[in-house]
Amino acid sequence: MSYARIGKGRNLPEQLEDDLRKAIVSGELAEGQALPTEPDLAQRYGVSRSVVRDAVRLLIAKGLVEIRRGKGTFVRAARGEAFAEALLLALARNGGTALDIEEFYGLLLPGIAALSAERASSGDRDRMLLRAEAYLEAFGREALDPSSDGPGLLRALFEAFMNEILKACDNKLVELVGGLLVRMRSFRDLAPEEGAREGGVAAIIELEERAIMGLARAVAGGKASEARAFAVRLCELRPSLRARLASTPAGDMPKLSFDMLAPIVQDS
Amino acid sequence: MSYARIGKGRNLPEQLEDDLRKAIVSGELAEGQALPTEPDLAQRYGVSRSVVRDAVRLLIAKGLVEIRRGKGTFVRAARGEAFAEALLLALARNGGTALDIEEFYGLLLPGIAALSAERASSGDRDRMLLRAEAYLEAFGREALDPSSDGPGLLRALFEAFMNEILKACDNKLVELVGGLLVRMRSFRDLAPEEGAREGGVAAIIELEERAIMGLARAVAGGKASEARAFAVRLCELRPSLRARLASTPAGDMPKLSFDMLAPIVQDS
């Protein structure tokens, strides 16, 4: 922090926020560290306490700090939540739908899968396969008995698998935007009572296994073009799914059924 | 707006902000429309004016409204600036570099080019070719005489060309994130005095023309796989460029020279 006296011209809270923000982004104020107290900041910058309060409020709105009751104001971990909220907001205001999100994911995933195959370390590869197996096990249980674990666990396991692929790319923007897309898709919040055609469940489980294990093995095996091809197929949308997503505003939860989600896999 | 009395439990400004935000996102409060006055909002929601002021400050921080001096508070156009700022902030805090941005762009552009080729209307196609020509004309001028227009114009013309490709995809998230990436790359801020090897300028101009016109013609001609291939080649990075980008923190301006930027085009 510069602790330079501010004043004149521009909005005072914004000037103060600017200085504190730079200190946070540069790491001068590290994650988990406490901000100086309100009176302390007011004195050092030569501003009123209400200016300090307003500046801190701007930092809170940007997701950079948080108030812990009775303890003070602390620098938050950099997880990109503020960015996620801002993006969803912008998308909703532009009339975006769940289909925009899903299509975007489909544009990005093939390239990510290929890059991940090229760059994954052996540790990445092991974790990727383990996560794929854990997800598929839960998928099978949930498909056969929708009440067993609930969709929350299934979604968390799917996200954990995808996040391994994202991490292996070794690209910060892939982690941030990709991680957000995986969360935004909110795809695995199934309403199985609505769909799951009689007799079709086993076939859907098999399709999902072929698609996910195919992707996981190609990436873990370092086969970039095969990983790309699996990702392309994994992102193909059934017409019923496309229609449902197009009618769901971005940020809302589409009501999906297992048969809408079954991967379109003819050959493997 | 619900105008429901708020109070108890959660933070009052956040509750009010939540209600106003929903009204803006849904379009109930349209772009350019004035918010009700401070006393009016305070009365309708049954809160103090300082609560209203804090709620409005949160809306400002999210980029949803702006104060026009002496006129009141107005709903801003939905351009996604808040999202852009939040993303750059998150990226900078995670130690991201200009290389992360450029690589991400390279992952996304091929898919975008292919989708754009499939979906472009004839109006889109005409504009795309015109913008490509305008950009290349300026590129030639700037490469031969770096002082002629300055890099600002060149960058604006490149963005205009890319934005036509993004728009033709007919996907809101592609427009938002793609548009941001194009701006973030800040690629065309050249420092030609630093590079531009003697005798190499004409060759660089020719390479740029082949790469950009190749992409523009493939997209405008509806040739998806050709458009994808041109985009892949356009995103290949010379080692000198990769090194420079990797050492530039995200959000900073990398110092580039024309020869770093020359597209790697062997065959066309």
Chain B positions touching A115 (Cβ under 8 A) are 103, 107
Of A107, A115, A174, the CB nearest to B111: A107
The model's pLDDT over A25-79, given as tens digits with 9 standing for 90+, comes to: 777 888 889 999 999 999 999 999 988 998 898 888 777 888 888 888 999 876 6
> Domain range spanning residue B132?
82-261
The CATH number of whichever domain residue A66 belongs to comes to 1.10.10.10
Report if residue B114 sits inside a domain.
Answer: yes
Confidence at residue B69, expressed as pLDDT on a 0 to 100 scale: 82
Cβ-based neighbour number of residue A193 at 10 Å: 10
| pLDDT value at A195 more than 60 | no
Per-residue confidence in pLDDT tens, chain B, 268 aa: 666 666 655 688 888 988 898 888 777 888 889 999 999 999 999 999 988 998 898 888 777 888 888 888 999 876 666 778 788 888 888 889 999 999 999 999 999 999 999 999 999 999 999 999 999 998 888 878 776 666 677 888 888 999 999 999 999 999 999 998 888 775 545 554 444 455 577 887 888 899 999 999 999 999 999 999 999 988 988 898 899 999 988 877 787 776 777 666 554 4
Cβ under 8 Å to A: B residues 133-172: 171-172
| Same-domain pairing of A65 and A168 | no
Q: Is B26 helix (H, G, I), strand (E, B) or coil?
A: coil
| Spatial contact of A5 and A19, defined as CB atoms under 8 Å apart | no
pLDDT, average across residues A257-261: 72
- Is B90's CB within 8 Å of A83's CB? yes
* B57 touches A: beta carbon within 8 Å: yes
Q: Are residues A123 and A183 in the same domain?
A: yes
Residue finishing a domain among B75, B92, B115: B75
Restricting to B residues 240-259, those with a Cβ less than 8 Å away from any Cβ of A are: 250
pLDDT of residue B267: 44
Kindly state whether residues B183 and B148 are assigned to the same domain: yes
Is the residue at B139 inside a domain?
Answer: yes
Give the residue with greater pLDDT, A185 vs A238: A238
DSSP conformational letter for A179: H
Q: Judge residue A222's burial from the number of C-beta atoms within 10 Å of its C-beta, 0-12 exposed, 13-18 middle, 19 or more buried.
A: middle
pLDDT-derived band at A117 (thresholds 50, 70, 90) equals very high
d(CA A30, CA A25): 9
The rounded distance, in Å, linking the Cα atoms of B223 and B207 is 21
What ipTM describes this predicted complex?
0.76
Contact A62 B87 (CB under 8 A): no
Q: Is there a single domain that holds both residue B26 and residue B144? A: no
What DSSP string describes A194-252?
G---TTTHHHHHHHHHHHHHHHHHHHHTT-HHHHHHHHHHHT---HHHHHHHHTSBTTS
Residue of A nearest to B232 (CA): A111
Instruction: Single out the residue in A32, A59, A75 at which a domain terminates.
Output: A75
Q: What is the pLDDT of residues A133-158, one digit of tens each?
A: 999 998 888 878 776 666 677 888 88
Q: For residue A158, what is the domain's CATH number?
A: 1.20.120.530
A69 and A111 housed in the same domain: no
Please tell me which residue, B162 or A86, carries the higher pLDDT value.
B162
Chain A, window 68-107: residues with a beta carbon less than 8 angstroms from a chain B beta carbon: 78-80, 82-83, 85-87, 89-97, 100-101, 103-104, 106-107
Strand, helix or coil for residue B96: coil
Number of domains in chain B: 2
Residue in chain A closest to B166 (alpha carbons) equals A104
Which residues 8-27 in chain A show a CB within 8 A of chain B? 21, 24-25
Q: What is the pLDDT of residue A131?
A: 95
Q: Which of A63, A94, A108 sits opposite B111 (nearest CB)?
A: A108
To the nearest whole Å, the CA of A180 is away from the closest chain B CA by 11
Q: A113 and chain B: CB distance < 8 Å anywhere? A: no
A174 contact B CB<8A: yes
* Cross-chain Cβ contact B92/A25 below 8 Å: yes
Tell me the pLDDT band of A264, cut-offs 50, 70 and 90.
Answer: low
- Please indicate, yes or no, whether residues B140 and B256 belong to a single structural domain of this protein: yes
To 10 degrees, the CA torsion angle through B135, B136, B142, B148? Answer: -60
Same domain flag for B194 and B215: yes
Tell me which chain A residues have a C-beta less than 8 angstroms from the C-beta of B54: 57
| Residue A119, pLDDT above cutoff 70 | yes
Cα-to-chain-centroid distance, residue B240 = 25
Nearest residue in chain B measured CA to CA from A76: B93
The residues facing A237 across adjacent strands are: none
As a whole number of angstroms, the distance between CA A107 and CA B30 comes to 32
Looking at residue A149, its pLDDT comes to 61
Asked if A173 lies within 8 A of B104 by C-beta distance, the reply is yes
Mean pLDDT over each residue of chain A, to the nearest integer: 84
Q: Residue-wise over A142-178: b if at least 16 C-beta within 10 A, else e? A: bbeebeeeebebbbebbbbbbbbbbbbbbbbbbbbbb
B61 lies in the same domain as B175: no
Q: Is residue A110 part of a domain?
A: yes
Whether A194 is in a domain gets the answer: yes
| Inside any domain, residue B7 | no
Radius of gyration of chain A (CA): 23
C-alpha–C-alpha distance, residues B79 and B154, integer Å: 22
Under an 8 A CB cutoff, do B57 and A58 touch?
Answer: yes
Determine the residue among A75, A81, A93, A101 to mutate to test chain B binding: the one whose Cβ has the most chain B Cβ atoms within 10 Å. A93
The owner of tokens 């004035």 is B34
Which residue is closest to A82 within chain B, CA to CA? B86
Residue A191 sits in the same domain as residue A146: yes
Which residues of chain B are within 8 Å of residue A62 when distances are taken between CB atoms?
A: 61, 85-86, 89
The answer to whether residue A230 sits within a structural domain is yes
Indicate whether A268 belongs to any domain: no
Domain boundary among A75, A99, A130: A75
The answer to whether the CB of A249 falls within 8 A of the CB of A97 is yes
Q: How far apart are CA A184 and CA A99, in angstroms?
A: 11
* Residues A21 and A147 reside in one and the same domain: no
First to last CA, chain A: 57
Residue A243 has pLDDT above 90, yes or no: yes
Neighbouring CB atoms inside 10 A of A70's CB total: 5
Based on the fold, state whether residues B64 and B113 are members of the same structural domain. Answer: no
Structural domain contains residue A6: no
Q: Are residues B125 and B37 in the same domain?
A: no
8 A C-beta contact, residue A183 and residue A158: no
pLDDT of A81 above 80: no
